[in-house]
Amino acid sequence: MPQSSTSTASSASPALTTADLYDEHGEALQSCDTQFRQYGGRSSFDGPISTVRCFQDNALLKAAFAEPGEGRVLVVDGGASVHTALMGDLIAASGVANGWAGIVINGAVRDTAILATLDLGVKALGSNPRKSSKTGEGARDVPVNFGGATFTPGARLHSDGDGVVLLAD
Q: Which residues are annotated as a binding site for substrate?
A: 88-91, 110
- What is the rounded (10 degree) CA torsion for 19, 21, 26, 30? -90
Feature table: binding site: 88-91, 110-111
Cα 75 to Cα 79: distance, rounded to the nearest angstrom? 12
Cα 48 to Cα 57: distance, rounded to the nearest angstrom? 23
Pick the closest to residue 125 from 74, 88, 79 (CA basis): 79
Cα 127 to Cα 108: distance, rounded to the nearest angstrom? 5
Phi, psi of 58 (to 5 degrees): -105, 15
Cα 80 to Cα 145: distance, rounded to the nearest angstrom? 11
Question: Length of the chain in residues, anyone?
Answer: 169
Feature table: binding site for Mg(2+): 111
Farthest-apart Cα atoms in the chain, separation: 43
